[in-house]
Every structure is written in structure tokens, then in C-alpha cells.
Amino acid sequence: MLSRFIAAAVLAALCLSLVGCYGSKESDSVAYVQIIGVDVAAGGKRKITTQIAVPLSTSKGGGPPGTEEKAGTSKRWVFNTMLVSAPAEEANLLRSTMSRSPRESHVSVVIFSEEIARQGLGPDATQYIRNRDYRETLFMLVVTGTAEDYMKHNNPALESSISKYYELFFEKASETGTYLPSTLHEFYTRLKTPGASPYAAYTGINPMTGIANPVDHKQPEQKADAYLPGGIPRTGTENPAEFSGLVVFRADKMVGVLNSYETRAVAILQNKLPLGYIAVVDPLKPEKDMINLAIRCEYTKITADLDGGMPIFNAEVKIDGDIYGISSDINYEAPGNREILEQQIADFLKGQITAMLKHTQELGTDPVGFGLYLRPKFANTNELNEANLTELYQAADININVIVKIRRSGLIWRTVPLLKE
């Protein structure tokens, strides 16, 4: 019995040793690709830039003595830009140009240039879905200019890892609403299932000259400006990359750009705005005074009706406001005045939302996902598949109702006028 047991154990061990360690990689023989940028190049080729983490620099003091100084001075990442005609070629060439085996399992962002987005992202974006190394949760960006340029100029000082930079950026998107996190998953799902149109976050490099380049269109109630990436007037030593606005697609082709305020309107309608800052013209002293507020979207209710093939959407938006600055000395906290202010904000937001809807209806894209609310109106999926939700959206009648409630007024509960001399 014992000898048989031992013989079986030895045989099993021998068989197992056949396995060897196939596919195992020591963690110091792997290079982790973190960001991938895709540009168009002449002749239908692609210029693919990979940003690869340098592990030593991220583990300060981890290694044996003597490595610390090296860690401080060396680069945090390296770039590798190659002109390829197919992704497989890129994978090949990457292995020809690097000592370590590249691993894409830690890719967190894919960046496309605007040019490639206008040609249609379908073939470039969808191939990542099939590969187990890429997660669908990776972020998808569209940049002004080329991705290569953007990646090389994007050099955050605060973060040791470039993935962390992007992850933190999208984590705090909910604090402003002027850009939205966009994942490959959402893009892909919207491409494959009728209901909403895909979109991607819009980003770019600021020239850091301090010259303002705002969007022209301005509402009467509006005090501040809306921007697109690269247009924010700023100088300083912070990273020149900035996020503002949204790239909208019809099917997989980029058809236009929403500015930062339109993007916030999308966020409000998607009920994804826990915090945002607005400035409106003082309704009682419109000449130069203004009111600053923090707003929160409490709820957004969208109902749809398919009335004889003509869709009608009703959106009810409930906004909570928190005053945090009044330049005039009018007591807006008092009842009576408060309603005036609330109406002003409601008009302002309704104007923004309506403008955004008009813009997207013209472009033929539905970033909010009104079409999703139409889905239950079809009797079954066959009818749904026969209908064209984008065209229905374009033809739709959309009623917006914005209700604003000022909940708090900061640390001051009534404004006392300034002494006149």
C-alpha cells in the first residue's frame, strides 16, 4: 500500500513537472504598458505610442543600498512610438525594441486623436474588447492634436504613476461635471445596443500663455465662460493637460464636441452631478453683480412617450443650491428674493440644457440616452430593432422643467447691506 502510494505520488509529481512554469513571468522581467495613444499616419497606418512604467522609480528605497539615488534621478516612464499598419505588428515591434516582455494588463487609458475619431473609432477601439489583457473598464479619451504630443507633454508633478493621474482625474469628474468619465465599456455597449450614443472625454494640452479662448455663445444669465481643452487661460507650473467638454459620436464616428457647459447639462440629465459650481448674473442688479453657487442634482426624471411614432420626452430636473458668494448686498436669503434667485438659476440651467439638446439633435447624437427611455415603449425587441432610435431622438419634442431650491446659504444666513460711506 505504502509503496503504491509513494509510486503514485512520484508519478503525479513527474507528470506535473511536465507543466514546467509555462507562461510564468518574473515580475522583474515584465514591462507594464500603462497608456496607449493612437494617431493616424499616412497610408492608412497608425502611429501607436505606448507609455511604459519604470518600476524602480516607483519603489523608492525598496532595493538594496545604492539604488536610492538612481531612483530619484531616473525617469518615471518611457515612451515608445511606432508607425504600424496593424496592432499585431505593434505587439511584435514592441518586443523587438524592448528587453522586457510588454504586458498590457495594466493599461488604464487609451487615447485617440481627434482625426482618428472623426474617421470612425469602430475598428480601432473594438479590437481591445477581444483581448483579455485589456479591461473594458479602461478610460477612453479623445485629444485635440495628436495623442503622441499629448502624452509627451502630459507630465504631472504630483503623481508618481501616470495611471493614478488619470484615475484620480476621472474620480473627481463628479465634482464639476464639465467633463465626464468615459470608458471603453460604455462606448462599446452603446455602439452595440440601441439606446444611447457613445461619447468620450475631451482633453488637450494648454499652451500656458494665459490667453483666454472661451466658447462664443453666452446666455443672458451666464456670468462665467465655457471652454474647450486648450482654451482655459492659465499659466503656472502645473501640468499643461486639461479636461473639458465631451466628444460625441454618431455610431462610431465623431460628429462634434460639446463644450464644458453643455457637458454639464449632459451630466445633469444623466443624474450624475453630485457637485458643480455656477455663477449667474445677479437678477436684481444685472449690471456687474453676480451670485456664485454650488449646485447638486438631486434627481432627474425622464419620461418618454411614443405618440404615433413621434416621441415626446419630459425631463424634470431638481437642483439643490448652496450660495457661496453674493457680490451685491441684496438679501437673497430672504423669502421673496430667494424665489427670484431660484428662477434665475432655473432659467440659466434650462437654457443650457435646451442649447445642448438642440446642438445634439442637430448633430444626430444622443449622449444623454433619451433613447433608452423609449425602449420600454416598444412591444418587443423585433420592433425595437426595426426602429432607428437616433432619428427618433432627432425628431423628438423634449420638454425640460428645472426646479431649483436654495437649501443653504453658506455660513451667512442674511446679507446686511454695506455702510454707505
Partner 1 sequence: MNIFSKNFKAFKELVVFQPTQAPPPFVVEETEKSGSTTTQEQTRLALEEHEALLRYARRVAITLEKVKNTLAEPAPNEKLASLRAELDALSKQKAHVSPLISTYSLTQDPLDQPVSTSLEENTLALEQLYNLPYNKDLVLRNITIPSSIPIVATLAFIDGLVDNNIISQTILEPLMSLGRENRDLIRGDTAPQIAARYLPSSQVKPAFFLREVTSGLNLGDTAIFFDGAAEALIVETKGQEHRGIDRPALEQSVRGSQAAFSETLRANTGLIRSLLRTNDLVTEILTLGTRSNTLCAVMYLKSVINPALVQEAKFRINSINVDAISESGTLQLFIEDHPMIPYPQALSTERPDRVAAALSEGRLAILVDGASFALVAPISLFTLFHGAEDFSFSWLAASFLRLIRLLGALLTILLPAFYIAINYFHQEALPTDLILTIGGAREMVPFPAIVEILSMEFAFELVREGGIRVPGMLGSTIGIVGAITLGQAAVSAGIVSPITVVIVAVTGLASYAIPDYSLAFSIRLTRITFEILAAMLGLVGLAGGLITIIVLLCGMKSLGVPYLAPVGPKTTPGYDMVIRGPVYSQELRPDELNPKDRRRQSSVARGWTQEAPAGKKDGS
Partner 2 sequence: MSFQPGRMGVAEGMALVFVTTFTSIFLTSWPLAIDSATTATWMLSLINGLIGIGVLYSQAYVLQNTSGDLYAACQELVGVVVTRLIAVYYIGIYLLDACLLLRQFAESTLLTALPELSFEIAVGWYVFLIVLILFIGIEAIARASYLFLPMAVLIVFIVVALLTPQYQFMYLAPWNGPGFPNVVMAGIHSVGLNMGILIPFILARSFQNSRTIKNSVLYGFGLSSFIKSLTLAAYIAAFGTGAAREKVFPFYEMARLVYINRYIQRIESLIIFLWAMMGILNVAIEIYIGLYLLGRLFNLPTLRPLIIPTALILAELAMFPGEIGSVIAFHHKVHWSFYNIGIYIIPGILFAAALLRARRRQSC
Binding site for partner 2 (CB under 8 A): 12, 15-16, 18-19, 22-23, 129, 132, 135-137, 164, 167-168, 171, 183, 185, 188-195, 369, 372-373, 375-384
State in angstroms the smallest separation of the CB of 219 from partner 1: 43
Which residue matches cell numbers 530619484?
Answer: 72
Cross-strand partners of 310: 307
User: For residues 51 and 355, what is the distance between their CA atoms, to the nearest angstrom?
Assistant: 38
Question: Among partner 1, partner 2, none, what binds residue 55 when CB lies within 5 to 8 Å by partner kind?
Answer: partner 1
Specify the residue, 175 or 329, whose C-beta has the smaller distance to partner 2.
175
Interface with partner 1 by CB under 8 A: which residues? Answer: 5, 16-17, 19-21, 23-28, 30, 32, 34, 53, 55-59, 62-65, 67, 103, 105-106, 108, 133, 135, 160-161, 163-164
State in angstroms the smallest separation of the CB of 298 from partner 2: 19
State in angstroms the smallest separation of the CB of 264 from partner 2: 20
State in angstroms the smallest separation of the CB of 192 from partner 2: 3
Question: Among partner 2, partner 1, none, what binds residue 63 when CB lies within 5 to 8 Å by partner kind?
Answer: partner 1
Closest listed residue to residue 249, CA positions, set 116, 129, 128, 396: 116
Give the DSSP letter string of 238-303. Answer: S-SEEEEEEEEEETTEEEEEE-HHHHHHHHHHTT--S-EEEEEE-SSSTTT-EEEEEEEEEEEEEE
Question: Among partner 2, partner 1, none, what binds residue 42 when CB lies within 5 to 8 Å by partner kind?
Answer: none
Specify the residue, 5 or 376, whose C-beta has the smaller distance to partner 1.
5
State in angstroms the smallest separation of the CB of 71 from partner 2: 23
User: For residues 205 and 35, what is the distance between their CA atoms, to the nearest angstrom?
Assistant: 16
- Please, what is the end-to-end C-alpha distance for the chain in angstroms? 108
Question: Among partner 2, partner 1, none, what binds residue 235 when CB lies within 5 to 8 Å by partner kind?
Answer: none
- What is the largest distance, in Å, between two alpha-carbon atoms of the chain? 108
Specify the residue, 167 or 322, whose C-beta has the smaller distance to partner 1.
167
Torsion angle defined by CA atoms of residues 384, 117, 268 and 136, in that order, rounded to the nearest 10 degrees: 70
